[in-house]
Amino acid sequence: MRILVVEDDKDVAGFVAKGLREAGHVVESADNGRDGLFLAASENFDAVVLDRMLPGGIDGLRLLETLRAQGNQTPVLFLSALAQVDDRVKGLKAGGDDYMTKPFAFAELLARVEALTRRGKSEAPVTKLVVSDLEMDLLSRTVRRAGQKIDLQPREFRLLEYLLRHAGQVVTRTMLLEGVWDYHFDPQTNVIDVHVSRLRQKVDKPFPTPLIHTVRNAGYMLRAD
Amino acid sequence: MLNIAPLTRRRLCAGLFATVGFAATVHGQSTDDMPPARVTSDTAEFCAQLARQLRAEIRARSTPEVPDEVRMLQHEGRRMCQEGHIRPGILRIRQALMILKQR
Amino acid sequence: MKPAAADRPGAAAQLWHRLACRTRQDLRLARHPGMLLRSAGVRFGLIYAGLFCLSALVLAGFLWWSTAGLLDRQTDAAINADAQGLLEHYQDGPVALVETIQDRLAANIDDDAIYLLADPLGRLIAGNLETWPSVITPDVEWIEIPIDRAGVRGLARLRHFVLPDGYQLLVGRDVQARARLRHILGDALLWAPAIVVVFGIVGAMAVRSLFRITINDVAATAAAFSRGDLTRRVRVSGMGDEFDRLAKEINEMLDRIAALMDGVRQVSNAIAHDLRTPITRARARLEDAARSARDEADLRAAIDRAQSDLDGIVAVFQALLRIAEIEAGSRRSAFARVDLGPLLFDLVELYTAAAEENGQGLVHDIPPILPAFGDHDMLQQAVANLLDNALKFSPPGGTIRLAAAIVGQTLEITVADQGPGIPPADRARATERFFRGEAARNTPGSGLGLALVQAVAALHGGTLRLDDNHPGLAAVISLPALTASNAPLPPA
């Protein structure tokens, strides 16, 4: 994927760019608002990582608003030291697709950026999610693997649905909490892990190949090996 | 708070002084440099004149028609005038005349 | 400060001395009237005195009009009526008029009629005045002259008629009573402003000292507070008037400022003390790794540990900032109607799995609909914190209970566990930032969980109560329930 990183802190920008390149993406970077806007508007990117506080007269919010006003729908992930809920809301209202605060774990950033691109691509509403021999029918709310029906509680269904929609991408615990439970903070206990392990009992254990993998220091990923 | 504009302040003071001044003027307005005119209906002569008038009225009527009250007032009136209480005496004689006139 | 009853003479002397000083001060001020007017109390008093004076004058004027004025009008009407009758008789000739005048004098029970008829030559032919008053010339119509009634000086009001054939007639009444009334009223009118002004000045001074006392008290309290004495408060007189309300509001504000500053101080202390520890530890581990790591694996492990140490520190900072943000109350404007039923059910569902993993039971007793007014995310985090604690401290085989109910006007959310609980002595301090009881000293956690729950409860106008669960801890969040009567309007 082509990713644009607009960040004025050289170290952070370098860190992010390097990490993204190592993950196999093509990265362009700008260190101020004006250049960032120019690049974003003139070239085609799959995603933009945008810092809120930028020098050069145009800050992150203005940049995004201008972009959206031009009809540019490139997914944007905000990266900001401003952590208050109001700032988050402002960022999302300006047209942002996701919002992360500094300091951040790179794995989380990577997972979310990749999730963004996936989000952008799907246009038609899907009725079925399929990975390998796992099938989820969204209309009848049923799950089958290798032809066998799997009984899931409603919450387990939603958890599996989230993993399926982000199949092949890293899904962090925070993303799961937000996406499945609408819960916006870090619990101290490992509540998510327990839910995922129960899901695995139902979805993976009776079958030869596991689909739900744990990604160390990051989260989970659903993929066919 | 409560800033009175200077103009309003002046107006209020002027009003106050004007009222007081007027009151003082009205108060002092008395024509007391004139010698007073004597009222002749406060004298013993007038009393006697009225008493004569009363006697004439009584004589003009027959005795039973004259109420005791009238005689009493006549008597009192005459006596008071004689003793120097002119105005009360004149009053009683007038009252007697009034009663007689009403009959 | 009331002087003790025992030393009354001394107290009286003190009072006089104070009064004398105050008066001397005021007299000095009176020499500069401009300065006096600068006092709001004096201006207020003067305006009041002025208005009072004005209304007194209006009242006096009305009084005059309705008493003396009435008498005047009545007298004039009587004179006019009398005169009219006499003039009609004159048409039958002057002799008829003379007889009429004599009749009227004989019938004048009120003893107040004055008549005088003079012929063209000036000879008096009827009436009860001795002489023709010299001031009454042919051009005079109405006049008041002094009269002598059996030696007593009086006043008469006369109307003068010049009749055809040259006769002159005076018809009038004795108005001594009215004159006396007018005199009395006139005196009062002159004295009243003087009295009112005196009262006004006294009142103004009283109002001014009242203002001064209150304002001085407030100013002194504010000055002392700004200089650092956070315990100073404005004095409340207990009369319940506007000054008391002002004093109460100011005191509440000062209480809040003191509480906030206390919070800041707590946080600074906590940061100084409790955060240095993990920072020091992280640094020490890195230093150790730099010195004694044998291979890349060791270094990687050290770096991983340092990462998680730093993450932990960041989490503490975030939590602190969050608590400070909540306590400052800035998020109240985002309050909305929240149904706590689904919120609590979701949390139960989230935590049930983890509880079962620990061998703990999670039971719930939640009504399906639980309306409240507040911030969904904050309440979620608060209850989650309590559940976190419950899971952390409950023993395997223990039961954790999440219950919610509306009790009267209050909505209560209870999270009860069967762990070691909090000893009564520590319960008051448990919600302090970074406080960790003895039992909790070795469990992971920053000690901020309960502080955050307390802050959220307070922001919602409620409380956090920590009770004994026999055994264990029952944490109860009480919030004002949303009833039809107290449902607030959504923020604009």
Instruction: Report chain B residues whose CB lies below 8 A from the CB of C149.
Output: 39, 42, 87
Is residue C364 within 8 A of residue C413, CB to CB? The reply is no
Residue among C128, C145, C150 minimizing CB distance to B34? C145
C388–A185 CB contact, under 8 Å: no
Q: ipTM surpassing 0.85, yes or no?
A: no
For residue C6, what pLDDT is reported?
46
pLDDT: is A216 or A30 the higher one? A30
For residue A80, what pLDDT is reported?
85
Domain with residue C147: its CATH number is 3.30.450
For residue C459, what pLDDT is reported?
84
* Residue C1 placed within a domain: no
Q: Which structural domain range is residue C111 located in?
A: 68-174
CA dihedral in degrees (C6, C11, C13, C18; nearest 10)? 180
Q: Where are the domains of chain B?
A: 40-102
CA separation for the pair B80, B94 (Å, rounded): 13
For residue C33, what pLDDT is reported?
62
For residue C478, pLDDT over 60 is answered with yes
pLDDT: is A162 or C51 the higher one? A162
Residues C455, C357 share a domain: yes
For residue A218, pLDDT over 80 is answered with no
Which chain C residue has the Cα nearest residue A106?
C307
Looking at CA atoms only, how far is residue C381 from chain A in angstroms?
7
A191–C444 CB contact, under 8 Å: no
Range scoring the smallest mean pLDDT among A84-98, A187-201, C35-49:
C35-49
The fold of A2-121 is: Rossmann fold (3.40.50)
Residues C350, C312 share a domain: no
* Surface of C (139-178) touching B: CB under 8 A: 144-150, 153-154, 156
Q: What is the mean pLDDT of residues A181-204?
A: 81
Phi, psi of C415 (to 5 degrees): -120, 115
Residue among C318, C334, C353 minimizing CB distance to A195? C353
* Surface of C (315-344) touching B: CB under 8 A: none
C44–B1 CB contact, under 8 Å: yes
CA separation for the pair C283, C279 (Å, rounded): 6
Query: Tokens 């024509």 map to which residue?
Result: B31
Q: Where are the domains of chain A?
A: 2-121, 128-222
Cα-to-chain-centroid distance, residue B96: 19
Phi, psi of C432 (to 5 degrees): -70, 150
Domain with residue C459: its CATH number is 3.30.565.10
CA separation for the pair C177, C183 (Å, rounded): 10
- Percentage of residues in chain C having pLDDT higher than 90: 19
- Radius of gyration for the alpha carbons in chain A, expressed in angstroms and rounded: 19
Nearest CA to B55 out of B103, B102, B89, B93 is that of B93
SS3 at position A214: strand
CA separation for the pair A147, A135 (Å, rounded): 9
Looking at CA atoms only, how far is residue C193 from chain B in angstroms?
8
For residue C2, pLDDT over 50 is answered with no
Residue among C54, C109, C153 minimizing CB distance to B91? C109
Residue C11 belongs to what H/E stretch?
Answer: helix C8-30
* Residue C234 placed within a domain: no
Across chain C, what does the average pLDDT equal? 81
* Surface of C (293-322) touching A: CB under 8 A: 304, 310-311, 314-315, 318, 321
Bridge partner residues of C338 (DSSP) = C372
Residues C75, C61 share a domain: no
For residue B2, pLDDT over 50 is answered with no
Residue among B2, B20, B35 minimizing CB distance to C43? B2
Q: What is the mean pLDDT of residues C466-480?
A: 89
For residue A73, pLDDT over 50 is answered with yes
For residue A122, pLDDT over 80 is answered with no
C346 interfaces chain A, CB cutoff of 8 Å: yes
Instruction: Please report, in angstroms and rounded to a whole number, the separation of the first and last CA atoms in chain C.
Output: 49
CB atoms near residue C267 (< 10 Å): 18
For residue C472, pLDDT over 60 is answered with yes
C183 interfaces chain B, CB cutoff of 8 Å: yes
- Which of C147, C160, C175 has the most B C-beta neighbours within 10 Å, making it the best mutation to test the interface with B? C147
Are B and A touching by the rule of 3+ CB pairs within 8 Å?
A: no
Range scoring the smallest mean pLDDT among A163-167, B49-53, C114-118, C436-440:
C436-440
For residue C38, pLDDT over 80 is answered with no
For residue C29, what pLDDT is reported?
59
B87–C130 CB contact, under 8 Å: no
Instruction: Report chain C residues whose CB lies below 8 A from the CB of A103.
Output: 310-311, 314
Residue B91: pLDDT band by 50, 70, 90 thresholds?
A: very high
For residue C20, what pLDDT is reported?
67
Residue C476: pLDDT band by 50, 70, 90 thresholds?
A: very high
Phi, psi of C7 (to 5 degrees): -100, 60
A191–C325 CB contact, under 8 Å: no
CA separation for the pair C408, A13 (Å, rounded): 56
Note the pLDDT tens digit of each residue in C250-271: 999 999 888 878 777 776 776 6
Bridge partner residues of C478 (DSSP) = C412, C463
Q: Which stretches of C295-388 are assigned E, i.e. beta strand?
A: 336-339, 361-365, 371-374
Note the pLDDT tens digit of each residue in C273-292: 667 777 888 888 888 888 88
Query: Tokens 């400070």 map to which residue?
Result: C324
pLDDT: is C433 or C467 the higher one? C467
Contacts of B among chains (3+ CB pairs under 8 A): C
pLDDT: is B15 or C319 the higher one? C319
CA separation for the pair A20, A106 (Å, rounded): 9
Q: Which two tokens stand for residue A104?
A: 């951040």
Looking at CA atoms only, how far is residue A191 from chain C in angstroms?
5
| Cα distances (Å, whole numbers) of residue A91 to A45, A51, A177, A179, C291 | 20, 11, 20, 18, 45
- Which of A194, A199, A202, A216 has the most C C-beta neighbours within 10 Å, making it the best mutation to test the interface with C? A194
pTM metric for this prediction: 0.53
A185–C381 CB contact, under 8 Å: yes
* Surface of C (435-454) touching A: CB under 8 A: 444-445, 449
SS3 content of chain C, % helix, strand, coil (to 5): 60, 15, 25
Range scoring the smallest mean pLDDT among A70-84, B25-39, C66-80:
B25-39
**How many Cβ pairs within 8 Å bridge chains B and C?**
103
Residue among A182, A183, A194 minimizing CB distance to C357? A194
For residue B56, pLDDT over 60 is answered with yes
CA dihedral in degrees (C294, C296, C297, C298; nearest 10)? 40
Tally of domains within chain C: 4
For residue C490, what pLDDT is reported?
47
* Residue C485 placed within a domain: no
A185–C351 CB contact, under 8 Å: no
What's the farthest any 2 CA atoms get from each other in chain B? Answer: 87
For residue A127, what pLDDT is reported?
83
Nearest CA to C376 out of C346, C339, C405, C413 is that of C339
C332 interfaces chain A, CB cutoff of 8 Å: no
- Domain A128-222 is found in CATH 2.40.30.170: no
Residue C433: pLDDT band by 50, 70, 90 thresholds?
A: low
A155–C349 CB contact, under 8 Å: yes
For residue A121, what pLDDT is reported?
55
Q: What is the mean pLDDT of residues B64-93?
A: 89
